[in-house]
Chain A
Amino acid sequence: MGSVLSRLYVGNGAFDIVGKRLRWYITSSIILLVCIGSMVFNGFNLGIDFKGGTKISMPSVSASGQSISTGAVEDAFAKAIPDKKPTAVQAVGSGASATIQIKSPALNIQEVAALKAGLTQDTQPQGGQSAISDSAVSASWGGEISGKALWALFWFFVAVTLFLAFYFEWRMAVGALVAVFHDVIITAGVYSLIGFEVTPATVIGLLTILGFSLYDTVVVFDKVKENTRGLLGLTRRTYAEAANLALNQTLMRSINTSLIALLPVIGLLVVGVGILGVGTLQDLALVQLVGMFVGALSSIFIATPVLVDLKMRDPKYIAQARRVAARRAKGSGPQPAEGIESADEDALAADLRKEEAYAAAASVPHRTAKAGDARRRPTGKRQR
């Protein structure tokens, strides 16, 4: 009964996440420091899109069915363009998609054409010259994409802050933004630490993590909002406890949504790495995998605790917390926080009445009551 799984499943507030928030703050501060340190001192492993250069990819199987060695490709390169050297020649991918990737400093159109002709002649790849792909990127292109991405990031923050502040309240907007910053920095830090190659696709992926991380946080905050409606008038629990309850109630949902979002990304990664070897799919999948994982954690361990800390600076909530403490001290001791219960019954009832009115307005004929309807259990709840 008390297993972690069943506590997760039931979601009755068994995990004291908000109460132990200092622990999460310290943990995440340390991780953040490591990440920032790595970004500052280690930098990133930037792909050719940021440095400029040419990338050639060709089938690694020759027309006669033999595999082409990277050595043969290097020789052909040296023969075709004697005055330049490839920076890397590697075999990637598997099966029919196995290719040889050549990276080199920027080549001009003539050199690329000469190289392709040379490669075709010397290594005889399957499909001939038209099977060889090339991509040349100027040094400023990656910078341009990233520059735009940073602008996108900025405007995204502005738009989302406005949305959250309007839809929830400014404290929630701040909590959500702190969590998102946390995600972006840690994801970038992981890239810097491990030395994964940063490409424009990585930058794209990083941006979409923001959306996802916020998505998760919004789901939690929605429940927090619901649980704390009318809280000030009651002495049952403090804001922190109500928020913690909301966290627990949405914990399974958070885990589920994160898992489900991660599953397709895992599919992407498997295909990206296993079949194609390199490229957009792999880059996107990797950054999302890291980002979504961090994002799920931060919406639980960072966003809500930050929100609680901000809320508890409000004298009204401090006073309310005191009243709760006073009642508990004088009363029957700490009442076990009741598992599932919402403070927004009235709001829900109003919504439901509205629905009913709509249904009526849409001339939905009322169903004749069936016998089943009378078989109501005595739940003690209001009958409708």
Chain B
Amino acid sequence: MATEAKGDFTSNLGRIYTIYTGGFVAFVIFIAILERVGVPNNILGYLFVAFTIGVYAAIGILSRTMQVDEYYVAGRKVPSFYNGMATAADWMSAASFIGMAGTLYLLGYDGLAFILGWTGGYVLVATLIAPYLRKFGCYTVPDFLAFRFGGNAARIAGIVVLMSCSFTYVVAQIVGTGLIGARLLGMSFEMAVFVGLVGILVCSMLGGMRAVTWTQVAQYIVLIIAYLVPVVILSTQKFGIPIPQLTYGSVLSEIQAKEAALGVSAAASHIVPFARYDPLNFFALVLCLMVGTASLPHVLMRYFTTPSVREARSSVAWTLLFIFILYFTAPAYAAFAKLEVFENVIGKPLAQLPSWVFSYGKIGLIQICGVNAVDVASITAACGRIAGHTGILGLANFSIQADAIVIATPEIAGLPYVVSGLVAAGGLAAALSTADGLLLAIANALSHDVYSRMINKNAPVARKLVIARVLLVLVAILAAWVASGRPADIVAMVAWAFSLAAAGLFPALVMGIWSKSTTSAGAVAGIWAGFLTTLTYLVVTRYFPGFGVNVMGMYSNVHPITGAALVDIAKLKAEQPQIFQQTMVAINHPLASRVGYFNVANISAGLFGMPVGFLTMYIVSKFTTAPSSEMQTFIDDIRRPRGAAVMIEK
């Protein structure tokens, strides 16, 4: 009876999600009508949050389960198309939704390293890792490491890397919900964090992976509609063609013309490569992001939920298609926003700036002449203090935060508040869906790998599932508590997750599948060596640069265009020797993230850790006993789709 109902559900997915999408569109139209009749904006904003989170909660409750298989891998019944959507939502975080376009605005061509890095990694997922892990039949990534590399040493190493990548990442998502609530909906930051916590728990607690899967599909639909609508309207207004991804070509041409008129040097143009990152750092970043993508546990575990190896493969293709839709739109946002700024903001008298500048200046996203652009009087006063300022806004006196671009676009296009509310709902969906996936990855590592596999191997199923839920709630509360302190450092650390995963997990996963001669000792040594090399480079360059220079022989990175050193170490040593003695330094310290080896920026630290990991694994394997013939057979087994899963859970 139960299975019959499930079959119905899977075969009706198309209908269910079509109705859902229609319902969501109808809801947006309903809100637009409410706005017309004069309902105030903050009420509309709350309606958006209440409606979307209510729907996610309903899905979460309907998908509740008491079966281990359903809780950990959604019963392995998720068709590849829907798993693709869920993975896309799992993957695209608050930062992708809100921050990516802004990063492209600020960095121009060099920001495309993120676009390339966060898409191309899926080629590695599909060809090297995901189908083989699916065949293996594990619940978590450390599960695979433990089986292939004989025991808990590999499991523990895997758990440590997983935790260090995922925890900062989930905190950043909750901070993201706080910022979206505060900036777009006028909630207090703490209130929005609490709403986020509730939103995450209702989706994941009762139904585990099963509930998270079906909510993530729903969240993908909301986030992609919300991302496309403002920029499609903008493109239609300007060119009469609703395809911003095509029309922003001519926007780029206009930007270049404006840049020439405003005196932006040709080397710093929006479209010129390697002006902010030199080629080494550009490609190193692309590589670290790609390899990191292919090793992040919250992504890999999504492919454990497909019905077959075949579907795991096609599911990666669907995932990338759904991600592509957002990522190839982000540069269009950046271009449209830049042109707006060049046309209607820069070179205008202070009193004639468009009103959106002040809307976002008030919440600290736009500064003019060094102060938040709250109103005309305050910026006039601030610019008046600058010698020789003519009252015309120059490029140098205008600064906009990356987060402002997507948020401000509806207002730039002169759209009603309903579109801003839609964007807020989309950002919230992006943050919640990623947080759900991460939280599940962390809690499952604790409940499945630590509790069920190491502490109490014979625990009854009901006990395992209770423990899993208790841990999930505890981790969520801990993450929300850390997030409520608005830790700027943690948000900056998210970029570290990719390098850490790339160096810590990628070599072990790839060698575990592709090399029969990699031994347990080799793998464990390789995981630690790669992970610790990367972690050391990250922490030393960022927090202990004085130690790096004095003890580890690090030196200054150089400017990408001029090639000049970023910090003059000899001069600093003579003038301010105490700088090199300070133990832990703040982010604005003259040395922080400006020293290193071979000019490699700390965001690309995986560049050192990956080869160290692979090499250690290879060398140690040479000198230890080769894997047993059972293990060789097992490796053959995961390499062919046919046949039962290698690891079958009871």
**Are the chains A and B members of one assembly?**
no
Q: B residues engaging A (CB < 8 A)?
A: none
Q: A residues engaging B (CB < 8 A)?
A: none
